[in-house]
Amino acid sequence: MANRIIVTGGAGFIGSAVVRNIICNTPDEVCVIDKLTYAGNLESLAEIADDPRYRFEKADICDKEALDRIFAAFRPTHVMHLAAESHVDRSIDGPGEFIQTNVVGTYTMLEAARKYFNTLDEAGKAAFRFHHISTDEVYGDLEGPEDFFRETTPYAPSSPYSASKASSDHLVRAWKRTFGLPTLVTNCSNNYGPYHFPEKLIPLVILHALDGKELPVYGQGLQIRDWLYVEDHARALYLVATSGVPGETYNIGGHNEKKNIEVVNKICELLDELRPRTDGKSYAGQIVYVKDRPGHDMRYAIDADKIARELGWKPQESFESGIRKTVMWYLEHKDDWCAHVLSGEYKMERLGTGE
């Protein structure tokens, strides 16, 4: 029997990958809830937009009345909650929006789900799942090179963004224990891949390089991140939502620890091969080092043994294969998807309303 899945933030980077994966590879129905803020882009869902199993609701996850209406009309078997403000630099400049979306929005989603859950019969309650998608940044950073984030690692968030996500994680677990809502939490490492908004490191470097701009690197670029290809993450999220155990947490990582400067140099190397500069020089010559941001964590690394052991998931892409696919995608879509995002044109096409 097909599932009926609400995906919040489904027009965003990870959310759209989840929706495309579900529609293309399962018989399930999907209802996307997205406010369409700057990072929400319906062009990221264009390939599945005409599928009868997909529907879209423009709504704010802080809008209780809208959520109640959508839950009652769609009658989901699963909720995959991805809607969030997620850019650390933006959280430093304006933390209030992160508290509103990530904390208040998650609370509102949980209450809408609980109200709906209480209307279900026993079979419906047994099937229902609320899957909250979070980040490894809630754990803070790691000391030694042999340390890893595990599901039992204490929380120690460093930025307003990670603190807001940590708060939402705690709410989700509290609604499980106090109200019996069958919730699950996943914490992932840094994602990359197609349809990534250009403020993030990898797409920013690709597009700046092609435009002849400087490639800014914080500090000396020695911060270490575990990189997870977004389509691998989408497969893992669906597996957790449909096969995970309520009350459990699953860490999802790519097994690809890289220093930021290594990532930037790899992108330059691929661009030198795939789209050489006309002057014959390397794109690496555009790298500049800039002042580090406040509270910048030095190292993240995920221990993903639990999801591999209990659910049988492991990433299909290495960093080398995934980053090549990513660079090639941006080269192929520089003049359409990327151009529309950078110009703001995608905002003018939302739902055909010209808003």
Question: Which residues participate in catalysis according to the annotation?
Answer: 136-137, 161
Rg, C-alpha atoms of the chain: 20
CA nearest neighbour of 128 among 280, 273, 258, 3:
3
Using CA atoms, how far apart are residues 76 and 286, in angstroms rounded to an integer?
49
User: Which DSSP letter does residue 42 get?
Assistant: G
Contact indicator for 256, 329 with CB cutoff of 8 Å? no
Contact indicator for 253, 188 with CB cutoff of 8 Å? yes
Using CA atoms, how far apart are residues 132 and 237, in angstroms rounded to an integer?
10
Residue 179 one-letter amino acid: F
Using CA atoms, how far apart are residues 56 and 49, in angstroms rounded to an integer?
9
Strands 183-188 and 249-252: parallel
- Residue 289 CA, distance from chain mean position: 27
Can you give the three-state secondary structure of 281-346, one letter per residue? Answer: CCHHHHEEEECCCCCCCCECCECCHHHHHHHCCCCCCCHHHHHHHHHHHHHHCCCCHHHHHHHCHH
Residue 137 backbone zone (phi > 0: left; psi -120 to 50: alpha; other: beta): alpha
Of how many residues is the chain composed? 355
7: which strand partners? 32, 80
Contact indicator for 192, 10 with CB cutoff of 8 Å? no
Using CA atoms, how far apart are residues 168 and 93, in angstroms rounded to an integer?
20
